[in-house]
Chains A and B, each alone.
Chain A
Amino acid sequence: MSFLTGTLEQGLIYGIMALGVYLSFRVLDYADLSVDGSLPLGAAICAILIYNGSNPWLATLLAIIGGAIAGVFTGFLHTRLKITPLLSGILTMTALYSVNLRVMGGNNVPLLRAETVFTVLQDIGLPEKVVSLGVPLVVVTVLVIILNYFLQTELGMAVRATGDNEQMIKAQGVDTNYTKLLGLSISNALVAFSGALVAQYQTFADVSMGIGTIIAGLASVIIGEVLIGTGSILRRLLAVVAGSVMYRLVIALVLTMGLKPTDLKLMTAFIVIIALASPSIKKKLRVGLKEGKYAQS
C-alpha cells in the first residue's frame, strides 16, 4: 500500500514537470533540454531559502520564478540570437549546472527537520499521509485547471498555433518570438515548481537530480498519449499526469524486481526509444506484411 501511495505521490510531483515538458515539446513543438537544469534550479532555490529559514511557500514561489527566468533565457537564445532550439536548451542546461552549484553553495542542501510545505501542514494537525498525497494532488489539479483554461484563451491559442504552424499565425498578426518566449517560461516555471516540491518531498536538493528530466518528461507525455489518448486539451493534460504516474509505477516495479537504481536512466531511455519508434516500426511491419502478400500471389 505504501509502495503504491509513494509512487502516486512521486508521479504527481513529477507530473508537474511532465506538464511543463508537454507545453514545450507538444504544444510549442520545441524540444527544450533546459528542463534538465531548471528542475534542479527550482530545487536549489527552494532548498537554500528554506535552509536559511525562509517560509517554504515563499521559497517555492521564488523557485517558480527562477524557472521562468531560465525559460526566458532559452527563448532569448533562440528567438533573438537565432540559436537552434536544441542548442539553446543545451546551453541553458549547461549554464544552469554552475548556477545551481552557486545557488546551493555546494553539491547538495539537506532539508532534514527543516520546515517544508509538507511539515507546515502537518503542524496544523493534518495527518502525514494526507499531506504527502494531498499537496501534490491539489497542486496538480489546480495547475491542470489553469493550463486547460489558458490554452483555450486568445493568447493560449496563439501559443498553440505557434507550435502548429508558425507561418500561419505570423500571417494572423502574432509575434511568434513572444509566444515562444511565453511558452518556454511557463514550461520551465512548471519544471522548477516540480523541482521545488521534489526537494521538499525527499528533504534534500542535489545538483545531479536533474539529469534525465527531459527523458522522464517525454516518457510521461508519450505513455499518457498511448494510454489516455489525445482528445480535448483537458484530456491531454490529464493524460500527461497519468503518464507520469504510470512511468513512476513502471520504475518502482522494475526496482522491486531487482534492477539497480543506477540502471534507471538506461531503462527510461529504452522506454522513450520504444515509444518514439513505435509508429515507424508499425509502418515497417505493415509494409513488410504487404510485400509478403505480393510475393505469395
Chain B
Amino acid sequence: MLKVKEVKKTFNPGTINEKLALNNVNLNINAGEWVTVIGSNGAGKSTLLNVIAGVFPVDYGSIYIDGQSILHQPEHKRASYIGRVFQDPLMGTAASMTVIENLSLALKRGEKRKLIPGISRKDRHFFQEKLSQLGLGLEDRLSVKVGLLSGGQRQALTLLMATLKKPKLLLLDEHTAALDPKTGQRVVELTKEIIEKEKITTLMITHNLEQALKYGTRTIMMDEGQIVLDIKGQHRNNTSIQDLLALFEKASGKALNNDRVLLA
C-alpha cells in the first residue's frame, strides 16, 4: 500500500545546524496494517510522517501509494487520500468555525469546493450519528464554535474529520500526547474503534511504549533517521516493554532517550 524507498532528508544543509533527519529509510506497509512508531527525540518519526504527507520535499528517494509515486504532488493534493491528526489539538480544527462547519469542510476533503451551500441538511443527521459514536456529547453541540471545546474534544473531532471520508492512509503524530492521561486514553480507544471498523491503514507515532505494543499490528522503532527495529505478529505479541528497551539498546548502542517516554 505505502512504500517508502531510500528516503533521505537533511534539514539546514551546509549550516552549523545541519541535521540528517531521515537516513535511507525503507518501509513497506500493507493495506490494513496499523503501524505504531516509537523512538528517541529527533529520531525522525515526525519527519517521516511529514514527508509522506508532503509538508516538505525529500532530498532523495521515492514514496509510493498503491504503486503510484506521490512525490510530485503538493500537500493539499495528497490530502485527498491521506488523513492526519496532529499532536497539537488546536492544529486540526478551525477555532472560529462551528463543529458542523468543520465537519462539512472535512467531508469535502480532496474534492473541488463549489459555490453551493457548505452545510447541507442531509449531512446534519450523518454528522450527529458520527459524533454520538465519540460519546462526548458533541452531537448536541453542532452549532458551537470549536474554539470553545476542550483539547480532548477537539482532538476527537480532528480524528473524526480525518476519517470522515475514509483515507487510504491515516497519519497520527502523537495525537494523544498533549492530552491528560484519561482523555488521551479515551481518544486512543476511539482511534482503535474507528481504525478497526473502517480498516484504515495507519501510521501512529506514540511516546507511550505500552500503547505502542498494545495497539496496532506492527511496531517500528526509529533512531537517528533510520528504522532500527520492525516487529509484528507472534514475535510482537511476545515482546514486553522491557524487551523493547533492551532491543533498542542493542540496535542503537545506547539507552532510549525520550524525555516524554512513558513506560506504562
A contact set with B: CB distance below 8 Å: 149-150, 152-158, 160-161, 164-165, 167-176
Contacts and interface: CB of A to CB of B under 8 A. Distances in A.
B115 A155 contact: yes
B76 A152 contact: no
6 contacts: A150-B115, A153-B117, A154-B108, A168-B91, A173-B77, A173-B109
Interface of B: 53, 74-77, 79-80, 83-84, 86, 90-97, 101, 104-106, 108-111, 113-119, 161-162
Contacts of B76: 170, 173-176
Q: Which of B77, B105, B109, B111 has the most CB of A within 10 A?
A: B105
Nearest to B108: A154
Contact of A161 (B53, B83, B94, B162): B94
A155 B94 contact: no
Contacts of B115: 150, 153-156
Question: Nearest 6 A-B pairs (CB), nearest first?
Answer: A173-B79, A164-B94, A173-B110, A157-B118, A154-B113, A155-B113
Given A152-B119, A172-B106, A174-B76, A160 B97 contact: yes
Contacts of A165: 90-91, 93-95
Contacts of B108: 154, 172-173
Contacts of A153: 113-118
A182 to B, nearest CB: 10
A172 B95 contact: no
A171 B79 CA distance: 5
Given A165-B95, A170-B76, A172-B105, 20 more contacts: A152-B117, A153-B114, A153-B118, A154-B116, A154-B117, A154-B118, A156-B115, A157-B101, A157-B118, A158-B113, A161-B94, A165-B90, A168-B92, A168-B93, A171-B75, A171-B92, A173-B111, A174-B76, A174-B113, A175-B76
Contacts of B79: 170-174
Of B94, B117, B161, most A-chain CB atoms within 10 Å:
B94
Contacts of A176: 76
B97 A164 contact: yes
Contacts of A156: 115, 118
B114 A161 contact: no
Contact of B97 (A155, A157, A173, A174): A157
A174 B101 CA distance: 15
B109 to A, nearest CB: 5
Contacts of B53: 171
Contacts of A160: 94, 96-97
A267 B142 CA distance: 43
Nearest to A157: B118
Interface centre among A155, A167, A170, A172 (most CB of B within 10 A): A172
Contacts of A157: 97, 101, 104-105, 113, 118
Given A153-B116, A154-B113, A157-B118, A173 B93 contact: no
A136 B96 CA distance: 31
Contacts of B116: 153-154
Contacts of A154: 104, 108, 113-118
Contacts of A173: 76-77, 79-80, 108-111
